[in-house]
A = this chain, B = another copy of it.
Amino acid sequence: MIEPRRLRVALLGAGAVGSQVARLLLAHADELADRAGAPLDLVGIAVRDVDAPREADLPRELYTTDADTLIAGADIVIEVTGGLEPARTRILHALASGADVVTANKALLATHGSEIFDAADQVGATVAYEAAVAGAIPIIRPLRDSLAGDRVRRIMGIVNGTTNYILDRMDREGLGFDEVLAEAQRLGYAEADPTADVEAYDAAQKAAILASLAFHTSVPLDAVHREGITSVDAGVIEAARKAGYVVKLLAVCERLVDQPDAAPTGEAISVRVYPALVPREHPLASVHGANNAVFVEAEAAGDLMFYGAGAGGVQTASAVLGDVVSAARRHVAGGPGVGESTRANLPIVPIGRIRTSCQVTLEVDDKPGVLATVAGILSDGNVSIATVEQTTSGDAVARESGDAVAHLVIGTHTAREQDLADTVERLAATSAVRRVVSVLRVEGD
């Protein structure tokens, strides 16, 4: 029997994910060899400082600061360092030297994806990135392979564990945003600087990656409309609950049809990230804690959902290893890798031109004529009202004195986002409207 070729695996990075990848590669060497069709030799781990203290107990001699030499001699390069540079340069180097690449680097793919996938195409190599979106949850491979004979209509993803943890705690315990954020930071669910999570930069990167893959279109990060969750307060959550919704930060990737400007097919896409109202009976509504889930509506397959842990070193390492095994099989079998397709290259519609339905919550003077004024502004703005609920907090005395406040919760039919934005601006400028409390889109209805 011919001894199968051994594959040389180089690991870039030894942080929370990298150390787990290394541990699993060594601990499960026999099983991995069996599944990959060849033994996988971890030949080195590139780090900045060989002597830094590390969690995992790995052989000292694996560490090296010479990433270039390590990459040059590898069949498979695993990049789990994060950040744009030197990750980008190193991945391009690995591809140029004939290695397949496995990466968990969402920021890099969302920013330089086209360049990297083009480079891989040139040499017929694979860039696998299951770990870049939704941690351990298999979503990249199902979208690329399982649904290869289908057409994706829409993706709604809870792809950021930190914000889901925060919104879920607020919903379940009735707590305020700041309180829960502080708790999440204490527990390690949120960073000391939570901007990337709570302002939805992280979710936007994942949305760009998912949309690119699902719609065969290169989606640059700045084409993703992004709104964070910092304006979602306890009152908004409470009002959502009463109306039968839960607030989730959603990455929405949508195929639009009958777009007048999108010749020749009339198809275009919208990619957006914002806090949205999800009906309580929707499968995404029961995604609790720091979990992630990606809900996919496909033409033939119907509705699918993929659920699991969105982060964590060992969970993410599981996704990395699945990719390593696939890359190894390809290396053994030969033949080109599966390239990224930008065949469709659908136009990306700016947020102002898509249609959504919303729930607008206003704090208004509790006096006669206010509802008529508000309804008139909506009607003038081409925003049609589906439901209205008014609650009054003031008593008769307050009402007499003109100090009474009422809350108006207005559900709209689908309207053009630009019309909605203009209308909300006009509402905010109306004297009877004290405050626009929130404007939340409804998704998954």
Contact = CB atoms under 8 A, between A and B. Distances in A.
Interface of A: 20, 24, 28, 31-32, 34-36, 130, 136-138, 141-142, 145-151, 283, 286, 298-309, 312, 314-315, 317-322, 324-326, 329, 332-336, 338, 341, 343
Given A149-B321, A309-B301, A335 B333 contact: yes
A158 B322 CA distance: 25
A321 B24 contact: no
Contacts of A320: 149
A336 B36 CA distance: 12
A322 B147 contact: yes
Contact of A305 (B307, B318, B322, B343): B307
A338 B332 CA distance: 11
A341 B35 contact: yes
Given A283-B307, A306-B306, A312-B302, A146 B34 contact: no
Contact of A35 (B20, B148, B315): B148
Report copies per complex.
Answer: 2
CB-CB nearest 5 A-B residue pairs: A149-B321, A333-B335, A138-B146, A300-B318, A136-B301
Contact of A34 (B286, B314, B326, B341): B341
A235 B319 CA distance: 44
B149 A138 contact: no
A305 B305 contact: yes
Nearest to A20: B300
Contacts of A318: 147, 149-150, 298-302
A307 B307 contact: yes
B307 A302 contact: no
A306 B301 CA distance: 13
A149 B341 contact: no
Contacts of A283: 286, 307
B308 A301 contact: yes
A213 B320 CA distance: 20
A344 to B, nearest CB: 9
Contacts of A142: 138, 141-142
Contacts of A332: 335
Contact of A333 (B145, B321, B336): B336
7 contacts: A136-B300, A138-B145, A147-B318, A149-B321, A149-B322, A305-B306, A329-B338
A301 B20 CA distance: 11
